Structure 1
């Protein structure tokens, strides 16, 4: 009886011990995988010691880090077609980036927060304040120079970084921006103004009548064109400066037509042109021009404000005037890269030039955050130009001058063509600023240089580790 009792106790003890061992094993396994779940693989142990990317990546926290990137877009107003397309591009980039983070094993998520500025400076300021209240420190935009001028002071005072894809006014390239937190991923209009003035003169134009929007952007660009074209020996007639809020351009276009008549008499129609600096309202100006034969028998030249805008090709009357006058619009050129083609193929159309640049700005921000490990503006400010210098995106290389404006030696020239299905923007050629030469057509797509970061780059962590 005692032997049976002892055997029962032994059996019971063995079961208890076995259960305890199993519990300990399960606890140990769970703890191990919890620890491993927060570890992000890095390319190598040597890479880990070189970069804050890997130290951040190896954080033991299981809470996913959310990085917000704000975007001040003109979804309505005078640049609405530009803003709507930029929104689509940013949502695509956000999805790509979050998929890449999972692929890299980085416990982080990127969220794009969009506000509609309506192409209005005061609205842009209100929108920036809204983004700031939501903890957004890195902002793409705004798109117009008038908006940027309005919000620069608030951004600088509150530690917000701004990165505009399209603000070009030379008036904003000021000493207080040196080593600052405001970047523009386009050259300022000191270059664009010289480009279009030289093109007009090279094409035999000797007198121009100017109609332009009276804001920071328009005034700055017209000032450069006036100075450059006059220095070349041309005649500049500053005919019609209108308030950006104008909706009826009848009197302005009538005055423009009278001036063109006078210039044709003096110089001949082949040596006279209209220079138009506008945004979406350019469609209304072109439509009214159709009522004056003298305005459709001379060449028209525009700016990056009208290059690729939807309102012109969507208005058959305006579009036809653009075709008849060979309405030529320069814009800081996205280089023809394989990523330019990939983006074009994804959206099944050629995007507006600033959409490719907006896409690149997202990735420059993204890789800067990945390098630093946070959205700390002081840290991003220091590393962003270095990351940008090693990034080759949809619009090519990204180098900046002392003001934080992009350095570019090439401008794309866009015109409107009539097709079987309607009207569309097309690339007429590329102008080299340094050589002052115009090349008709678009060069072949280029691959990224060895070792450069590029959009959706699976080798991003190892490449970032070499940047210091």
Structure 2
């Protein structure tokens, strides 16, 4: 028995030595494997319109987020931070019901931080679920004032951030451009959703007493009209009434909508008086590929002056060139904001994990505010592509300038800039 035990012991020692000596894994490889296994995955959701009325912008936002994911993971690697960000994209089609379903889908996958949604109507429909489940949301494009999406106090909006100013600012820019162009009479068509009504009401406050409104026409948003003839007829009545009092250059159409404006324009008869006056739009349609592709001639005829939040740093200009080189198109301002949102979300999430060990939504809210300040000032060796991002008490971007774009010869061109510091439009 003793001999047998000794033989077994020797055999085990030989096997162990063989395993150690025969292993092909070097110490550095072992270390790398250990390091790799300790990498913590940061999962972010993204609610985008990839097949609905603002899909042209949604695809640009998706492209920007893909660049952000690539850049953030490079940053983590170069700074020996054992994190990796993964972004999970969901198509909402700008449908509030679908947006809620997609939030629930992401939540079921354990994803508690979301970039998006793009529209305020979507945000309004998902706000109760977000609050109840403490899901942190950073929207790059929802702009309706808080009351129009159902928030009565900043505390109710604790988990919802918006890195874009609300339409209280855009309304000032639109009012300023209308007055700057000498508009005396206006026909309005607007989406009857939270965003459309919010921008409409805020702007009416800015122009009442200065500009006559002949027709104020709301249209459904879900779904949008396919036959625009009733709306066209009513708008024509308003324009004809105004043209009996004012010259054509003092009369305008203001439309608050998304890509459906392309269909609206395409259905207007060539001899309609609607095409004899200037048109104004908003951030909902600015830089729309669909408008210039499907109604470029008519859009060029009426100009369709459209506002969009504008804040670009040197880092932003570099990203724009990189974006154009890779995707062959110009990114929207909202795509740039989404890029910033991804950085702030990922860095904040990493800080929560480092400090707390596990994810905590309330700590995440605190870290977003801390990281945002450092990110905006360049303290983290990366720079915000949309400049300094300061938030107000509602966690919305506190201010900003607005670029004015118009359709010229079938393409979008920046033609002016509204400066929030002066309240004036600088035309190019």
CA contact (8 A) 1:309 1:352 kept: no
Aligned: 1:381 with 2:365? yes
Q: Deviation at 1:336?
A: 4.6
* Partner in structure 2 of residue 430 of structure 1: 417
* Partner in structure 2 of residue 356 of structure 1: 336
Aligned: 1:218 with 2:196? yes
Aligned: 1:369 with 2:349? yes
CA contact (8 A) 2:176 2:425 kept: no
CA contact (8 A) 2:214 2:242 kept: no
Which of 82, 86, 93 is residue 118 of structure 1 equivalent to? Answer: 93
Residue correspondence of structure 1 range 44-123 to structure 2 within 5 A: 62-123=37-98
Residue correspondence of structure 1 range 293-308 to structure 2 within 5 A: 293-308=272-287
Residue correspondence of structure 1 range 249-328 to structure 2 within 5 A: 249-315=228-294, 318-328=295-305
Q: Deviation at 1:299?
A: 1.0
* Partner in structure 2 of residue 237 of structure 1: 214
Which of 142, 157, 170 is residue 167 of structure 1 equivalent to? Answer: 142
Kindly tell me: are residues 78 and 375 of structure 1, through their superposed partners in 2, closer, same or farther at Cα, counting changes over 3 Å?
farther
Deviations 1:386-427 (A, max 9, x none): 211232422222111111111223011111122xxxx32221
Secondary structure of the equivalent of 2:270?
coil
CA distance in 1 between partners of 2:39 and 2:414 (Å): 44
Deviations 1:283-311 (A, max 9, x none): 11122235343112211111110111111
CA distance in 2 between partners of 1:77 and 1:238 (Å): 28
Deviations 1:142-182 (A, max 9, x none): 11111000001101101101111111111238343346010
Q: Deviation at 1:344?
A: 3.1
Secondary structure of the equivalent of 2:65?
helix
Kindly tell me: are residues 36 and 26 of structure 1, through their superposed partners in 2, closer, same or farther at Cα, counting changes over 3 Å?
farther
Larger radius of gyration: 1
Which of 196, 205, 208 is residue 186 of structure 2 equivalent to? Answer: 208
CA distance in 1 between partners of 2:82 and 2:50 (Å): 32
Q: Deviation at 1:221?
A: 0.9
CA contact (8 A) 1:340 1:395 kept: no
* Partner in structure 1 of residue 375 of structure 2: 391
Which of 406, 411, 418 is residue 415 of structure 1 equivalent to? Answer: 406
CA distance in 2 between partners of 1:126 and 1:33 (Å): 44
CA contact (8 A) 1:161 1:181 kept: yes
CA distance in 2 between partners of 1:20 and 1:187 (Å): 66
Q: Deviation at 1:376?
A: 2.8
Q: Deviation at 1:25?
A: 11
CA distance in 2 between partners of 1:298 and 1:163 (Å): 38
Kindly tell me: are residues 226 and 31 of structure 1, through their superposed partners in 2, closer, same or farther at Cα, counting changes over 3 Å?
same
CA distance in 2 between partners of 1:71 and 1:93 (Å): 12
Unaligned stretches of 5+ in structure 2? Answer: 1-12, 377-383
Secondary structure of the equivalent of 2:320?
helix
* Partner in structure 2 of residue 400 of structure 1: 391
* Partner in structure 1 of residue 3 of structure 2: none
Secondary structure of the equivalent of 2:208?
helix
Q: Deviation at 1:382?
A: 0.4
Residue correspondence of structure 1 range 185-200 to structure 2 within 5 A: 185-200=163-178
Q: Deviation at 1:31?
A: 7.5
CA distance in 2 between partners of 1:173 and 1:404 (Å): 15
Kindly tell me: are residues 183 and 357 of structure 1, through their superposed partners in 2, closer, same or farther at Cα, counting changes over 3 Å?
same
CA contact (8 A) 2:405 2:416 kept: yes
CA distance in 1 between partners of 2:251 and 2:132 (Å): 48
CA contact (8 A) 2:323 2:330 kept: no
CA distance in 1 between partners of 2:19 and 2:164 (Å): 62
Kindly tell me: are residues 306 and 346 of structure 1, through their superposed partners in 2, closer, same or farther at Cα, counting changes over 3 Å?
closer
CA distance in 2 between partners of 1:379 and 1:93 (Å): 23
Kindly tell me: are residues 32 and 303 of structure 1, through their superposed partners in 2, closer, same or farther at Cα, counting changes over 3 Å?
closer
Kindly tell me: are residues 175 and 86 of structure 1, through their superposed partners in 2, closer, same or farther at Cα, counting changes over 3 Å?
same
Counting matched residue pairs gives 396
User: Normalising by structure 2, what TM-score?
Assistant: 0.85
* Partner in structure 2 of residue 464 of structure 1: none
CA contact (8 A) 2:196 2:257 kept: yes
CA distance in 2 between partners of 1:26 and 1:397 (Å): 57
CA contact (8 A) 1:67 1:375 kept: no
* Partner in structure 1 of residue 309 of structure 2: 332
* Partner in structure 2 of residue 155 of structure 1: 130
